[in-house]
Structures are given as structure tokens and as C-alpha cells.
Structure 1
Amino acid sequence: MNIATIVLVYVVIWWMVFFAALPIGVRSQHESEEGVVEGTEPGAPSNPNLLKKALYTTLIAAVLTTGYYFLVDSGVISFRAPR
């Protein structure tokens, strides 16, 4: 498996995990104690914690990509046509 494939798999896994993590722990402005900021949507998140989610996503994507690499390298998963 070449480096371009590994990078592509990592990027795809990263975005999938990131989009799955976005709604976790988010409270809208009308649910928070601070209240709604004037001129914003009441359903907008008060603190989405994007940096924290991006860091967790990076670690999870690295682990999943490493697992994928070893599964493909060992031959457990093969995308080649049988001969």
C-alpha cells in the first residue's frame, strides 16, 4: 500500500469521525444559562468545542487508519481479484 492511499484513507476516516462527533455534547443557546445572544439563532450552539473534537478525531482517525493498514498489509482484507 502506498503513502497516497494511506493519506486518503486517513482523510476520509477523519472527516467521517469528525461529522459523527459534531453533535456530541452540544447545547443550543436557548438551553444554556447564558441565554440567546441578540441577533443570533436560538438553536445555534453556545460552545461547540470544535478544537477538542478535532483533537479527539485526529487520535481516533490515526488509530483506525493504523488498524486498517495492518489488516490490509497482513492480507486479512484484500481488494485484489482472486487468481
Structure 2
Amino acid sequence: MQWLTYVALYFVIWWTVLFVVLPFGVRGQHEDGVVADGTEPGAPVNPFTLQKMIATSVLAVVVMLLVLWGLSNEWLQAYWS
């Protein structure tokens, strides 16, 4: 495969993992009892966006390595052929 294929695959894996990581540790305004005027009560108080992006990147690398291992594994290639 070409390097652009690997970049595209990582991009898809990264976004998929992001949607898995996003809900962890989120507390809504209504749970803390402080709802800012004009906002949705379920809006997160502190979404920890930077930490989630870092965690997503690390997990996406792990998943990408597993995918690359699977693609290069002869046993798996024989199974799919």
C-alpha cells in the first residue's frame, strides 16, 4: 500500500476512536447544579478536549498498529484468501 493509504486509514481510525472516547468523564451542567443562562443543561461543564485528543491519538496508533500487524500476518492473509 502507498503511504497515503496509511494516512487515510489512520484518519478514519482516529475519528472512530474519538467518538468512542468523547463520552468518558463528561459531566453536564445540570449534574453540577450550575446552568449558565442561554445554554443547554446537558452541555458539558469541562469536556477535557485536549486530554481526549491526546488519548484518541495514542489509542488510534495502537489500533493502527494492530491493523498493520493483521495486514502483514500471513495466517490472516491465508484466511481471507
Fold agreement, TM-score > 0.5: yes
1:18-63: CA deviation from partner (whole Å, max 9, x where unpaired): 0011111101001115x01111111111111111010000001011
TM-score, normalized by length of structure 2?
0.85
Find the counterpart in structure 2 of residue 28 from structure 1.
28
List alignment gaps of at least 5 residues for structure 2: none
Looking at secondary structure, tell me which structure has more helix per residue.
Answer: 2
Q: Go from structure 1 to structure 2 and tell me whether the alpha carbon gap of 1:41 and 1:26 turns closer, same or farther (over 3 Å shift).
A: same
Secondary structure in 1 aligned to 2:31? coil
Cα deviation, residue 4, structure 1 = 1.5
Find the counterpart in structure 2 of residue 49 from structure 1.
48
| AA matched with 1:12 | V
Using the alignment, how far apart are the partners of 2:10 and 2:64 within structure 1?
6
Q: What root-mean-square deviation, in Å, do the aligned CA atoms of Structure 1 and Structure 2 show?
A: 1.7
Cα deviation, residue 9, structure 1 = 1.3
List alignment gaps of at least 5 residues for structure 1: none
Secondary structure in 1 aligned to 2:19? helix
Aligned residue-pair number: 79
Q: Structure 1: which 4+ aligned runs deviate by more than 2 Å?
A: 74-78
- Percentage of matched positions with identical amino acids: 42
